[in-house]
Chains A and B, each alone.
Chain A
Amino acid sequence: MKVRIDPEICQGQGRCFSIAPQIFDFDELGNGVVLGDGLLTSETIELARLAQANCPEHAVFIEDSP
């Protein structure tokens, strides 16, 4: 599984990188960005799902990785 943030939807609410700093960071405007390649492990998937469930803009997507 892979996590991504849609930059068109993200408004910098700041929830993802507060909840899961292992997975997300912020850019110079305070918008969320995914660290590294966004590939999730069995250890990080639940945290990614929690961040997704807290994004008011619904900007976090978790998808099957190719």
Chain B
Amino acid sequence: MTDNPLVQDFATDWDHSDPQWVADPYPIWEDLRQRCPVAHTDRYGGGWFPATHAGVSEIAKDTTNFTSRNVVIGNGRPTELDLPAPIGVAPPITSDPPFHAIARRLILPAFAPGPINALEPMIRELCSKLLDTMAGEDVVNAGTQYAQYIPPSVIRGMLGFPEEDIEQFLEFVHIILEGIDHPEEERIIEFEPVEKYFVAQIEEHMDSPRDDLTSYLLNAELDGQNLALEHVFGTMVLILVAGIDTTWSAIGSAIWHLAHNPEDLARLVNEPDLMPVAIEEFLRFYAPVTMARLVKHDMEYQGCPMKEDDWILLGFPAANRDPVAFKDADKFIIDRAENRHVAFGLGIHRCAGSNLARLEMRVALEEFIKRYPRFELADSKAVTWAPGQIRGPRNLPIRILQ
């Protein structure tokens, strides 16, 4: 994707992997809102990008004209392999009504506030241990040494995979995240070791069920029958894909912000009760996740001639910066009281892991600033941002101040 020619005009040729978009997409989106609220591209086989809160909101809620069969933009138009409707490869995120509600209802109880809040001590201990490994260093990498490790470790624990498998598990996460937009034939080959490991874990859990997410999915019933193993496997992959670089990006962006906004850092250190409100502003201002849809049938939308299977890139982060929807939208206001941000999406596909993401963000930030009440960017030019649909800092060197 990065071999694509540089974009000259994002209104007619947008590309979410263009270096300018990756480095700083916000001015691009502001420009689009003013002159072309639904931008077009011929790249990736053709697609559209609504840049306003109203446009994103309308399309996110419209499951009649837009399908979720594929939510990650690939290198071309989707193929039949991408489209096993209505279940999709990773239910419920790739499912449409009516199957969507059934698949979603199965997983929501496991991600409701009750069971998620119970994970807080485990997450706190994990963060504390990660910080211990960084102790004594003047410059730490908040991306590669800290944020990156938190979500996979939490999810490994939730799935009930052995703790000693963590390195292997991190490697699988890498394979899945890197391969997500590879063609289906390549992905099948790349996924082989992942599938083998997951199937072994599933079988092991079938022999000796326990209180974890894998056993939960194996016990779940649809119409009085256990889920198809492909459904269990697909949902496990979804939990990995959706729950890792997303939250890791959100934690990293928040630390990046605090590293060059000392007044906000000081407020969080001195006013711990402000954290939940601050988390919502981090989520609004640095929303990491952009999701895709496909146009279901030829139609006109806001004067745009959309064709069946055109991509729609749903810019939740762009919606969050729309001045029509937010007062002082381009300002980070750490105690913003009214904040209807859409970082977790809108409508029936609201991020099922939002309670977990918020908990991980809160605990990760609380532990980080407790250990390091003062820090700054060690080298702002060395900070790199992930390309594509999940945005967050990957390399994030932080200098610890006394």
Q: Do A and B bind each other?
A: yes
Taking CB atoms and an 8 Å cut-off, the chain A residues in 11-52 that contact chain B are 11-15, 17-18, 26-30, 50
| Least CB distance, B345 to chain A, in whole angstroms | 8
Contact with A along B96-136 (1 / 0, CB 8 A): 00000000010011011110000000000000000000000
A: number of interface residues (CB 8 Å): 18
> Chain B nearest CB: distance from A20 CB in Å?
12
Q: Are A13 and B109 in contact (CB under 8 A)?
A: no
C-alpha gap A50/B276 in the complex (Å): 14
Min distance, Cβ B16 to any Cβ of chain A, angstroms: 23
Report the bound CA distance from A50 to B114 in whole Å. Answer: 23
Measured CB to CB, the closest approach of chain B to A10, in angstroms, equals: 10
> Contacts of A56 on B, CB cut-off 8 Å?
340-342, 344, 346
- Could you tell me if B111 and A30 are in contact, using CB atoms closer than 8 angstroms? yes
Give bound CA distance, A26 to B115, whole Å.
12
* B337 contacts across to A, CB distance below 8 A: 50, 53
CB distance from A28 to the nearest CB of B (A): 5
Whether A29 touches B346, Cβ cut-off 8 Å, given contacts A50-B337, A53-B340, is no
When chains A and B are docked, how far (Å) is the Cα of A26 from the Cα of B117?
13
**Complex Cα spacing A27 to B105, Å:** 12
The answer to the question of B17 belonging to the interface, with a C-beta cut-off of 8 Å to chain A, is no
Complex CA distance for A55 and B113, rounded to whole angstroms: 17
- Among B112, B276, B346, the residue within 8 A (CB) of A11 is B346
- Residue on A nearest B344 in the bound complex, by CB: A13
Asked if A6 CB lies within 8 Å of chain B CBs, one says no
Determine if B341 and A12 form an interchain contact, defined as CB atoms under 8 angstroms apart. Answer: no
Whether the Cβ atoms of A30 and B342 lie closer than 8 Å is: no
Instruction: In the complex, identify which listed stretch (B5-13, B264-272, B348-356) lies at the interface while the others stay far away.
Output: B348-356
- 16 residue pairs of the A-B complex, CB under 8 angstroms, read A11-B347, A13-B344, A13-B350, A15-B280, A17-B113, A26-B112, A26-B113, A26-B114, A29-B108, A30-B113, A53-B338, A54-B280, A55-B340, A56-B340, A56-B341, A56-B346
CA distance A27 to B355 in the complex (A): 13
A53 CB to closest chain B CB, in angstroms?
4
Which of B109, B276, B339, B342 is in CB contact (< 8 Å) with A29?
B109
CA distance A13 to B355 in the complex (A): 8
CB atoms of B108 and A30 under 8 A apart: yes
| With A18-B276, A30-B355, A57-B346 as contacts: A12 and B340 at CB distance below 8 Å | no
Contact B355 A14 (CB under 8 A): yes
Known: A11-B346, A11-B350, A12-B350. A54 touches B112 (CB 8 A): no
How far apart sit A29 and B105, CA to CA, in the bound complex (Å)?
Answer: 7
Residue numbers in B under 8 Å from A27 (CB-CB): 112
Nearest Cβ on chain A to B301's Cβ, whole angstroms: 22
Q: Taking each of A15, A17, A56, which has the highest tally of chain B beta carbons within 10 Å of its own beta carbon?
A: A56
For A11, A14, A17, A18, the residue with the greatest tally of chain B CB atoms inside 10 Å of its CB is: A11
Q: Are A54 and B105 in contact (CB under 8 A)?
A: no
Q: Please give me the residue from chain A that is nearest to B351 by CB atom.
A: A13
Q: Which residues of A contact B105 (CB under 8 A)?
A: 29
User: In whole angstroms, how far apart are the Cα atoms of A53 and B341 in the complex?
Assistant: 11
Given A26-B112, A29-B105, A57-B346, answer yes or no on A13-B354 (Cβ-Cβ < 8 Å).
Answer: yes
- Complex Cα–Cα for A12 and B350 (A): 8
A-B contact sample (5 more), CB < 8 A, given A11-B346, A18-B276, A54-B339: A26-B112, A26-B114, A27-B112, A30-B108, A53-B338
Cβ of A54: which chain B residues have Cβ within 8 Å of it? 280, 338-340
List B residues 356-377 near A (Cβ within 8 Å). 358
In the complex, A11→B61 CA distance in Å? 11
In the complex, A26 Cα to B111 Cα: how many Å?
12
Q: How far is the CA of A32 from the CA of B105 in the complex (A)?
A: 15
Whether the pair B112, A28 counts as a contact (CB closer than 8 A) is: yes
CB-CB under 8 A from B340, the residues of chain A are 53-56
Chain B nearest CB from A14 CB (Å) reads 6
When distances are taken between beta carbons in the complex, the residues of chain B under 8 Å from A11 are 346-348, 350
Which residues in B have their C-beta under 8 angstroms from that of A13?
A: 344, 350, 354
Q: Which residues of A contact B348 (CB under 8 A)?
A: 11
Report the separation of the CA atoms of residues A29 and B348 in the bound assembly, to the nearest whole angstrom.
13
Distance to closest chain B CB from A58 (angstroms): 8
Q: Which residues of B contact A26 (CB under 8 A)?
A: 112-114
